Amino acid sequence: MATQPATKYSRIALELHAPVARISLDRPPLNIIDIPMMEELAEALTEIEARIEISILIISGSQTAFSAGVDVAAHTPDKVEQMLAKFHGVIRMLIASRKVSIAAVHGNCLGGGAELAMVCDLAYTSELATWGFPEIKLGCYPPVAVTALAALVGPKHAADLVLTGRSITGREAAGIGLANCVVPEVDLEHAVQDAVHHLSQLSPAALAIAKKAIYAWDSIHFDKGLARAEKIYSDELMKTEDAQEGINAFLEKRPPVWKCK
């Protein structure tokens, strides 16, 4: 039974049409993920998880982007611990979900947006999409990516993306394993719906258990690894002058002046 997008959400849109739920990041133009959006995502994921008639979750972005990442202003010392807890809470919920998750990626898919897409079970990308983890340019690093990216694309590709902060196209993202399939942007929704059609013919119970089994080994290491990455981020990285300089320079729209400490 279809429902209209929930009015209680201001930064996302939630549509339910069994067996599919769709979350659209809806904070144009770039769908930046701020703390209120993280809270809405957690609430929506909780609602979806409670619905036994839903077995498939699509996550996409509104208008011209998937998401250009987490709000840089949320990385300041007074907000960073709350931001990490809330964003990583969403990531953990998505990984633990019994629903098969599909990321539909077009436009910018950067930083926390790319982390959100990479932890979905399946990812379909436009060939013109822009993927990347640019946090190093701010004197930071992406905790989810440093924890899990190497398992997806291999250590060398992961090091390249995290340490250079360079962006890649959707075609290259699919080529290294960040996405399952790359298509022209006009065909993206059709590719997603083909996957949904196939999955909807299968047993929701079997899908949920198979998903749990696929990640049984990796999830043990992911939980420990992300906790460690969070601790290093808070206890070491955010106490460096360079991390503060990178964030301040971005907010002040100027080049950073690194102090090497």
| Chain mean pLDDT for the chain | 94
Mean pLDDT of 185-199: 98
Q: Is residue 54 within 8 Å of residue 19, measured between CB atoms?
A: yes
Q: Answer yes or no: 236 catalytic.
A: no
- List phi, psi (to 5°) of 202: -100, 165
Using DSSP bridges, classify how beta strands 122-126 and 130-132 pair: parallel, antiparallel or unpaired. Answer: unpaired
Of the candidates 47, 115, 127, 241, the residue annotated as catalytic is 115
Distance from C-alpha of 95 to C-alpha of 150, rounded to nearest angstrom: 16
Amino acid making up residue 38: M
pLDDT > 50? residue 1: no
Taking the C-alpha atoms of residue 66 and residue 104, their distance in angstroms, rounded to an integer, is 8
pLDDT band at 246 (very low <50, low <70, confident <90, very high): very high
> What number of other Cβ atoms are within 10 A of residue 156's Cβ?
10
Q: pTM surpassing 0.85? A: yes
Q: Is 53 a catalytic residue?
A: no
CA distance 12 to 130: 21
What is the model's pLDDT at position 7?
Answer: 56
Catalytic residue selected from 43, 49, 135, 241 = 135
Contact criterion met (CB below 8 Å) for 58 and 192: yes
User: pLDDT tens digits for 142-190?
Assistant: 999 999 999 999 999 999 999 999 999 999 999 999 999 999 999 999 9
pLDDT of 4 > 90? The answer is no
- Burial code (b: 16+ CB inside 10 Å, e: under 16) for 107-119 equals bbbbbbbbbbbbb
pLDDT of the residue at 8: 84
Task: For residue 190, give Cα distances in angstroms to 32, 104, 108, 126, 230.
Answer: 26, 10, 20, 11, 37
